[in-house]
Structure 1
Amino acid sequence: MAKTPAPPADPGAPAATQATTLYDRMRADLLAGRLLPPGRKLQIEFLGHHYGAGQTPVREALNRLTADGLVEQRDQRGFAVAAVSPADLVEITNTRCWLEEIALRKSMASGSAQWEEDLVLAFHRLSKTPRSLRDDRFEANPEWEQRHRAFHRALIGGCGSRWLIGFCEQLADQLYRYRQLSVQKIFPDRPIQAEHETLMEAITAGDADRAVELLTEHYQKTARIVLDDPEAFEG
């Protein structure tokens, strides 16, 4: 965790708003790996100091994050950052592939002009955004991360099921967390833009089988990179 305390929540905001804001900030830090390494204990007093919040809203946020699978509640020992493991990564990746196959096929079968327009726009925006803020070494570009997520959300956005999309989003959150473990090794050698372009070509051609195959390989490749990193699960 960073040594410098985060800016405190707005004391004039309603209690519900403060709690939601705290949850959002903690969630973003957990997903990006900025809070603590996986498996480490989360001390409520320290979190309160770090975020400028009281113990009650911190506990509320931790309970919500436990429901999200980002925090673990341990009997008599408080809270901890959710652990990571190779087996868990494989299971989450496989489940995402299964669910997004259904969602992508349904999106393509829908024939929705709005879905196609949204997908093309999301792809165009992603294509124009650099993965790294520097060419000589990796420096994460927050805008790319946002547009990358928007593109993958757009891929399945025409399936017609908010529940299916919601489940896929939860899995995407978990896999983003794993991806951060080896992001330095994913960049710059992986031609991720080419993977997105090939996937879009299959979708444009109306080849659902090929599109599903490419999307599945896209996710499985990320998992293999993390699994092959000997430092990914240390901590």
Structure 2
Amino acid sequence: MVQAPSASVTPLAPPGLSTLATNLYDRMRTDLLAGKLEPGRKLQIEFLSDYYQAGPTPVREALNRLTSDGWVERRDQRGFVVKSISAIDLVEITKTRCWLEEVAVRESIAASSVSWEEELVLAFHRLTKTPRSLADDHYEENLEWEKLHRAFHRALIGGCGSRWLISFCEQLADQLYRYRQLSVRKVFPKRHEQSEHKDILDAALAGDADSVVKLLTSHYRATADIILEDSTLFPK
């Protein structure tokens, strides 16, 4: 009797390795978004293993995932490098976010419900009760504000009825968050975000989609314009 060839078996990863790589991915991604791993920096395996107290195998796996997600670049002869930034990239991301969130906002307002309005009002209320900076005389990051700020913008488009659209908007929000963190000390003293958020909220509750889109677009472009003026990021 001729035996059928045995099927090839993919070796299983050592127990716990996948979890280690996932945790490391989350930590590295957080540091990338916060600007702690600056654009263009070479990511050496030895350095990362020491910095994050992890073995080289989960470090490589995390870097491969970050490369697939677009946060890290793999270059010939240089290995892994933090994704670079550019003024063109910032403008393009901002423009695309405005396009997508216009659709999401219009759909959310068209399908407006009591629960959507309540969630939006609650998100705004929580945001206004949280200081932008932990210090009054200088900027000191308040992670709780960042979380609530994201929650407000997420609630605004949360009634659109498309998880795919929301996911794409979230990805762009992450990209812009990275730029904002790289220039946050320039952005912070020049913004009146609470009043901008209040105007957006009022227009949304009034069902005025055109005004919400106009205010939201101005809100995002104002941030981008301030960042573009930062000569440390974009030398003239």
TM-score by structure 2 length? 0.90
Question: Is 1:213 the counterpart of 2:214 in the alignment?
Answer: yes
Match of 2:93 in 1: 92
Question: Is 1:15 the counterpart of 2:50 in the alignment?
Answer: no
CA RMSD for the aligned pairs?
A: 1.2
Structure 2 distance, partners of 1:75, 1:184, is: 35
Is contact 2:200-2:216 (8 Å) kept? yes
Match of 2:10 in 1: none
> Given residue 191 of structure 1, which amino acid in structure 2 is its aligned partner?
H
Is contact 1:92-1:171 (8 Å) kept? yes
Which digits, 9 at most, give the CA deviation of each residue in 1:78-133, with x for residues without a partner? 11000000000000000000000001111111123222221111111101000011
> Given residue 53 of structure 2, which amino acid in structure 1 is its aligned partner?
G
Which digits, 9 at most, give the CA deviation of each residue in 1:2-45, with x for residues without a partner? xxxxxxxxxxx82222111111000000000112x211111011
Percent of paired sites with the same residue: 69
Which digits, 9 at most, give the CA deviation of each residue in 1:203-222, with x for residues without a partner? 11110000000001100000
Helix, strand or coil for the counterpart of 2:81?
strand
Larger Rg, first or second structure (1 or 2): 2
Aligned length: 221
Unaligned runs of 5+ in 2: 1-14
Structure 2 distance, partners of 1:137, 1:81, is: 28
> Given residue 58 of structure 1, which amino acid in structure 2 is its aligned partner?
V
> Given residue 155 of structure 2, which amino acid in structure 1 is its aligned partner?
A
Unaligned runs of 5+ in 1: 1-12
State the 1:76 CA deviation: 3.5
Question: Is 1:27 the counterpart of 2:29 in the alignment?
Answer: yes
Is contact 2:94-2:176 (8 Å) kept? yes
Is contact 2:34-2:182 (8 Å) kept? no
Helix, strand or coil for the counterpart of 1:73?
strand
Structure 2 distance, partners of 1:103, 1:129, is: 26
Match of 1:110 in 2: 111
Output aligned runs, 1:53-132, within 5 Å. Answer: 53-132=54-133
Structure 1 distance, partners of 2:214, 2:128, is: 21
Is contact 2:18-2:58 (8 Å) kept? no
TM-score by structure 1 length? 0.91
Is contact 1:68-1:170 (8 Å) kept? no
> Given residue 150 of structure 1, which amino acid in structure 2 is its aligned partner?
A
